[in-house]
């Protein structure tokens, strides 16, 4: 596994630099063009992790995805799912820490994809999320949120933030819950990735009509928790 992981990073680093430079050279392109170009890196990442580390995946529920923009609420266990979302979902943006935009090379590419970069130390970060999130959804861009706020190890849980559900209520768009067990193969804090099949479950949309943010959040959290219990029992 150490040798396979070595070759994973050996191939990933130069490709990452290439796409970061390409993104800067073609930053004049419209958003959709920039998004397509830069997210080819995401496709390579998932493909290369499969080839070198044996990280495969299986998806259930792709047919549940609506045609219109939605808010995706997902559990967060590893780096893998943050990249994988760009492979299976339409053009999207993410809620992320502003500091990530300062990372050399990686942060440059992020800036070109219209992320909602917030400073969690500021009191008005939720207002920023609602304002910018509604703009992205109106532009036809999906919004991906990890309501636990940080990577959480399998079989442990963090309280779900209501911010994603509040955005769905404010914008009157559906929430689609998503659950996965990527952390069983790519644990937080470990660079060694274990071979295996990551299972991804996509739930039915939760429509905001006649529901407040708390109700939406509770439904999404309950569904994700139940799916995680089932997924972990198969590892």
pLDDT digits (tens, 9 = 90+) for 37-51: 999 999 999 999 999
Between 40-53 and 80-88, two packed helices, what is the crossing angle to 10 degrees?
120
Q: Is the pLDDT of residue 32 over 70?
A: yes
What are the chain's domains?
55-232 (3.40.1130.10)
Q: Is the pLDDT of residue 121 over 80?
A: no
Local confidence band at 1 (pLDDT 50, 70, 90 cut-offs): confident
Instruction: Please give the share of the chain, as a percent, with pLDDT higher than 90.
Output: 66
Q: What's the whole-number average pLDDT of the chain?
A: 91
Which residue has 């299976």 as its token pair? 88
Q: Cα 2 to chain center, whole Å?
A: 26
What separation in angstroms does the CA of 177 have from each of 39, 62, 156, 210, 227? 22, 12, 18, 18, 10
* pTM of the predicted protein model: 0.91
> Is the distance from CB of 44 to CB of 141 less than 8 angstroms?
no
Show the tokens assigned to 189: 């804090």
Q: pLDDT, tens digit, for every residue of 53-87?
A: 999 999 999 999 999 999 999 999 999 999 999 99
User: DSSP states of 55-74 as a string?
Assistant: EEEEEE-GGG--SS--EEEE
């Amino acid at each position: 596994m150490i040798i396979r992981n070595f070759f994973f990073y050996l191939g990933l680093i130069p490709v990452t630099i290439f796409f970061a430079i390409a993104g800067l050279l073609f930053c004049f392109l419209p958003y959709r063009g920039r998004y397509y170009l830069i997210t080819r890196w995401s496709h390579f990442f998932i493909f290369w992790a499969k080839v070198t580390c044996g990280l495969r995946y299986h998806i259930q529920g792709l047919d549940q995805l609506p045609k219109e923009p939605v808010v995706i609420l997902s559990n967060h266990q590893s780096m893998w799912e943050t990249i994988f979302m760009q492979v299976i979902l339409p053009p999207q943006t993410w809620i992320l820490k502003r500091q990530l935009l300062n990372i050399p090379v990686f942060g440059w590419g992020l800036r070109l994809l219209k992320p909602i970069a917030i400073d969690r130390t500021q009191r008005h970060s939720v207002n920023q999320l609602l304002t910018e999130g509604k703009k992205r959804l109106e532009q036809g861009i999906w919004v991906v949120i990890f309501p636990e706020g940080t990577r959480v190890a399998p079989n442990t849980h963090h309280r779900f933030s209501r911010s994603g559900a509040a955005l769905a209520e404010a914008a009157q768009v559906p929430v689609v819950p998503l659950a996965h067990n990527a952390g069983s193969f790519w644990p937080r804090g470990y660079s060694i990735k274990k071979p295996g099949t990551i299972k991804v479950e996509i739930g039915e949309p939760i429509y905001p009509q006649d529901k407040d943010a708390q109700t939406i959040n509770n439904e999404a959290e309950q569904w994700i928790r139940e799916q995680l219990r089932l997924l972990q029992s198969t590892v």
